[in-house]
Amino acid sequence: QVQLVESGGGLVQAGGSLRLSCAASGLTFSRYTMAWFRQAPGKEREFVARISWSGGMTYDADSVKGRFTISRDNAKNTVYLQMNDLKPEDTAVYYCAARLAGRTGWDAAYWGQGTQVTVSS
């Protein structure tokens, strides 16, 4: 069975940094586009970043503003999200998603359970 397990979340002060990890199993990791989304209570799920099987990266510029970096290690079946200069508006549950390369949309993708990121001011 496919499993995506996020880790690395926590409580940090504004201006701090966190590195999120998503460990995937049950799939051929190198064939999947991976992505990070986030969702806060009362808000819709928001796209943050994605990375293709070949390493091509796409960010939501308005949300990230040059502060976040997505990367992947196919040998470890893991995708990362390095978050710097965190702001209170970054507070959310962060979710990892996996989509077969060549597909579009995320509604039918695999999803992790999420990891909480809380940024205090």
- Region 51-79: mean pLDDT is 92
**Does residue 64 surpass a pLDDT of 90?**
no
For position 63, what pLDDT does the model report? 78
How far is the C-alpha of 11 from the C-alpha of 23, rounded, in Å?
21
Tell me, what amino acid is at 61?
Answer: A
Q: 115 pLDDT band (50/70/90 cuts)?
A: very high
Q: Are 24 and 4 in contact (CB under 8 A)?
A: yes
As a residue count, the chain comes to 121
For the chain, how many helices (H) and strands (E)? 1, 11
- Bridging pattern class, strands 68-73 and 46-51: unpaired
